[in-house]
Chain A
Amino acid sequence: MAALADVSLTVEAGEFVALLGPSGCGKTSLLRCIAGFVDPDQGAIILDGEDITGRPPNRRPLNTVFQNYALFPHMTVAENVAYGPRRRGVARGEIQDSLKAALALVELTGFESRMPRELSGGQQQRVALARAIVNKPRLLLLDEPLAALDLKLRRQMQLELKHLQAKLGIAFVFVTHDQEEAMTMADQIVVMNQGRIEQSGSAAEIYTRPSSIFVADFIGEANLIPMRLEDGRLRACIGGAPVTHPGASASSFTAVLRPENIEVIDPMSANAITARVTEVVDIGGHLLIHADVSGRSIRLRRLGSERGRLSTGAEIGLTWRPENIHVVPGIVP
Chain B
Amino acid sequence: MTDRSIQWLLIGFPLAFFSAFFIAPLVVVLVASVMGGSPARPTLAHYARILLDAYHWEILLVTTRIAVATTVVATLLGFPLAYYLVRIVRADWWRRAAVILIVIPLFTSNIVRSFGWMVLLGRNGLVNDGLTAAGLVERPIRFLGTELGIVIGLVYILLPFIVLTVGNALSAIDRTIEQAAADLGAGPFTVFRTVTLPLCLPGLMAGAVIVFALSATAYVTPALLSSGRVTVFSILIAQQYSSVFDFHYGGALSITLLVVTLALLACASALGRRR
Please name all residues of chain A whose beta carbon is closer than 8 Å to the beta carbon of B187 when the two chains form the complex: 56, 58
Give A67-111 interface residues, CB cut-off 8 Å to B. 67-68, 70-74, 83-84, 87-88
Q: Are B177 and A57 in contact (CB under 8 A)?
A: no
Q: Does A64 contact B (CB under 8 A)?
A: yes
What band does the interface of chain A fall in when counting residues whose beta carbon is under 8 Å from B?
20 to 34
B180 touching A66, Cβ below 8 Å:
yes
Chain A 45-75 interface mask (CB, 8 Å, partner B; 1/0)? 0000000000011110001101110111110
With A74-B198, A74-B199, A87-B190 known to touch, is A66 a contact of B184 (CB < 8 Å)? no
A99-151 contacts to B, CB under 8 A, are: 131-132, 135
Nearest chain A CB to B200's CB is how many angstroms away? 10
Contacting pair A37 B180 (CB below 8 A): no
- The residues of B that contact A83 with a CB separation of less than 8 Å are 181, 184, 186, 194
For residues 148 through 196 of chain B, which have their beta carbon under 8 Å from a beta carbon of chain A? 174, 176-177, 179-187, 190, 194-195
Given contacts A73-B199, A74-B199, contact A66 B176 (CB under 8 A): yes
B182 and A58 within 8 A (CB): yes
Cα–Cα distance between A68 and B180 once the two chains are bound (Å): 11
Known contacts A72-B195, A87-B190; decide if A64 and B183 are in contact (CB<8 Å).
Answer: yes
Instruction: Please measure, in the bound complex, the distance between the C-alpha atom of A269 and the C-alpha atom of B185, giving whole angstroms.
Output: 69
Are B186 and A70 interface neighbours, CB within 8 A? no
Q: A68-B174, A70-B177, A87-B190 are in contact. Are A135 and B184 (CB under 8 A)?
A: yes
Q: A58-B186, A87-B190 in contact; A70/B195 too (CB < 8 A)?
A: no
Are B176 and A58 interface neighbours, CB within 8 A?
A: no
Interface centre among A64, A72, A73, A131 (most CB of B within 10 A): A72
Q: Which of B36-95 contact A (CB under 8 A)?
A: none
State how many residues of chain B have any CB contact under 8 Å with chain A. Answer: 17
- Interface residues as binary, B189-214 with A (CB distance below 8 Å gives 1, 0 otherwise): 01000110011000000000000000
How near does chain A come to B94, taking the closest CB pair, in angstroms?
24
A59 CA to B198 CA in the complex, in Å? 23
Chain A residues closer than 8 Å to B182, beta-carbon distance? 37, 56-58
- Asked whether any CB of chain B lies closer than 8 Å to the CB of A327, the reply is no
Give the contacting residue for A58; candidates B185, B195, B198, B199; CB below 8 A: B185
The reply to whether the CB of A35 lies closer than 8 angstroms to some CB of chain B is: yes
CA distance A135 to B183 in the complex (A): 11
Q: Which residue in chain B gives the minimum CB-CB distance to A88?
A: B185
Whether the Cβ atoms of B183 and A35 lie closer than 8 Å is yes
Q: Tell me, in angstroms, the Cα distance from A83 to B177 when the chains sit together.
A: 12
**B179–chain A nearest beta-carbon distance, Å:** 6
Interchain CB contact under 8 A, A131 and B177: no
Residues of A283-315 at the interface with B, using a CB-CB cut-off of 8 Å, are none
Q: Which residues of A contact B183 (CB under 8 A)?
A: 35-36, 57-58, 63-64
Q: Cβ of B185 and Cβ of A84 under 8 Å apart? A: yes
- A70 is contacted by which of B179, B185, B194, B198 (Cβ under 8 Å)? B179
Using A58-B185, A87-B186 as known contacts, say yes or no to A72 and B179 having CB atoms under 8 A apart: no
Q: How distant is the Cα of A83 from the Cα of B184 in the complex, in angstroms?
A: 7
Q: How far is the CA of A63 from the CA of B182 in the complex (A)?
A: 10
**Residues of A close to B198: CB separation below 8 A:** 74
Q: Is the CB of B184 within 8 A of A63?
A: yes
Q: Which residues of B contact A87 (CB under 8 A)?
A: 184-186, 190
| A83 nearest in chain B by CB position | B184
- Enumerate A244-298 residues with CB–CB distance to B below 8 Å: none
A31 to chain B, nearest CB (A): 11
Q: Which of A37, A58, A59, A68 has the most CB of B within 10 A?
A: A58
Distance from B2 Cβ to chain A, minimum over Cβ atoms (Å): 33
* In the bound complex, CA of A88 to CA of B183 (Å): 12
- B179 with A57: CB separation less than 8 A: yes
Give the chain A neighbours of B185 by CB distance below 8 A: 58-59, 84, 87-88, 135
Across chains A and B, which 6 residue pairs bring their CB atoms closest together, nearest first?
A: A87-B185, A84-B184, A70-B180, A70-B176, A57-B182, A64-B183
27 contacts between A and B (CB under 8 A): A35-B183, A37-B179, A57-B182, A58-B186, A63-B184, A64-B179, A64-B180, A64-B183, A66-B176, A66-B179, A66-B180, A67-B176, A68-B176, A70-B176, A70-B180, A72-B177, A72-B180, A72-B194, A74-B198, A83-B181, A83-B186, A84-B184, A87-B184, A87-B186, A87-B190, A131-B180, A132-B184
| Extra 4 A-B pairs, beta carbons < 8 Å, given A57-B183, A64-B183 | A56-B187, A58-B187, A83-B194, A84-B185
